[in-house]
Structure 1
Amino acid sequence: MRQVVLDTETTGLSWEKGNRVVEIGCIELLERRPTGKHFQRYLNPDREMEPGAQEVTGLTRDFLSDKPRFGQVVDEFLDFIRGAELIIHNANFDVGFLDYELSLAGAHFGRIRDHAAVLDTLALARERYPGQRNSLDALCKRLDVDNGHRKLHGALLDAELLAEVYLSMTAGQGDLGLSLAAGATPAQRVVTVEMVVGERRVLRASADEQAAHAARLSRIAKKAGGRALWPQADEPSAAT
C-alpha cells in the first residue's frame, strides 16, 4: 500500500478569504515504511503573509517572491500523490486549500480526492484519545516522537513528524527516524518480520535410530545404578 504523508503552509487560515498555499511537503510510505522519496516546494502566493502565519512559519513575501507558482508545479505534485492514500492532520484545512489552488490552476485538474484517498489523523486521534489535546505537538509528546528541533512550522518537517506519529498511533512502531531516512544506518531502520506458520512436519525415528537410543539408555542405566531417568520403550514411566 502506498501512502503519502502531506502537510501545507499557507498565508493565512482561510482560503475563502483569498489566502494561498506557500509550501507543500510530502513523505512517501510504501507498506508503512519510508522510501526516502519526498516532494517539497515553496510557492509564490502573489500576496502578503498574514502576521500570524508569518510568525509561525518564518516565511516572508520577499523569500517567496522568486519561488514557482502553484500552477507551475501542479503536474509534478499530482504525479507524486496520484493513487496514494494521503495522511493529513486536520485534512479539511489542507484539502480545502489544495482544492482552491487546483481550481485556480484550471478546472480540468478537479479536486484532491479525484487523485488520491484521504485519511485524517486528527479524526483518528480524537477517536483514540477522546477529550485530550490532539495537536501534532501534543501527539508527539504523548507518543514519544522527538520534535525538539521544531522551532517553526514547516510543511516537510511537519510531514516527517506526522509520519512518525501516524505509524506509532496505528501500530506502536515508534520513532522511525524519518528525518534521517536517506542516511539512516541499518540499526536505525525498522524492519517488520512476518512469520508464516505452515503445516507442521513430524519426523519419526527409524528402527536403527530407536535401537541406538535404547542402547544408550541401557549404558546410562548401568552407570546410574540400574535405572535411567528416561524409561526404555517397554518400561512404564513414572508418569503412568
Structure 2
Amino acid sequence: MRVLFVTGTGTEVGKTVVTAAVAAGALARDGTVAVVKPAQTGVSAGELGDAAEAARLAGPVTAVELARFPEPLAPATAARRAGLDPVTAPDVAVVIRNLSVAHDLVLVEGAGGLLVHFDDRGTTLADAARLLGAPVLVVVPAGLGTLNATALTLEALRTRRLECAGVVIGSWPAAPDLAARCNVLDLMNTRSAPLVGAVPQGAGRLSPTAFRAAATDWLAPVLGGRWDAEAFAMRTQDGRSGVASLARRPRSGR
C-alpha cells in the first residue's frame, strides 16, 4: 500500500502514535516514508505538531503539515476563527500524489474523526481518501463505548466505498477492565474490518530508540509488524494485559 489514511473514532485515541508505529515499521524495512497532517489544530507557532511528533518517534520521515490553526477545534471552525484559508480535500490529494512519487509509503493523519470538516463546504478526510482511492486505518479506544463509535466509522467508510485497512486499538491499558477485555473479542468479530494492532498506553512516552524497537510488536503483518490478534485475545482473556509492560523497556535516549 503506497498511501494510507489514518483516522480515529474521535480525538485523543492514539492516531499520532499509531501513525508513528506504522512509519517505524516501514523504515525498519528500509522504506521511505512521508507523514502528512492536512490540518493541525490546537498548536501554536513553534510547537511540535503531530507530523513532527510522529517523525520524532519513528525516525527519518518527511513530515508535512499543510495548515496550522491555533485553536483546538475542528479544522473548518479553527480556520474560520483564525481568519485563515482552510485546507481542502483536493489540496490534500495533490500533496499526497506528489509525495507518493518519491516515497514508498505516505501516511495521512486526520484531525479527530473521519467526517470532521476541513472547510465550510463540508469536505472531509474521507473525501481526500476517495479522491486517491486510498485505504483508511481506523484507530479506536479500548474501553466502554468503542464498539458503537467503531461501527459508525466503518459504516461511513462502506457508504463511501472506501477500503478499511483495519482497526487498531490506539492505547491499550496496562490493567484493562472488563469492558476493554470484552471489546477485544467483539472488535475481532467485526466482519467489515479486521483488528490489526494494539498499541500500549504510554507508548508515545518511550524514547525513540525503544519505540522503534517495539513498534512492530504492536501491529499485524498487514501493517508490517508481527502482532497476532488471536494470541493477543488469549492473553487479555486470561487476565494478562496482552502487551509487554512499558516499564521493562529502556527510556533513555530521547
TM above 0.5: no
Q: Which has the higher contact order (CA 8 A, sep 6+)?
A: 2
Q: Tell me the TM-score normalized by structure 1.
A: 0.31
- Using the size of structure 2 for normalisation, the TM-score is 0.29
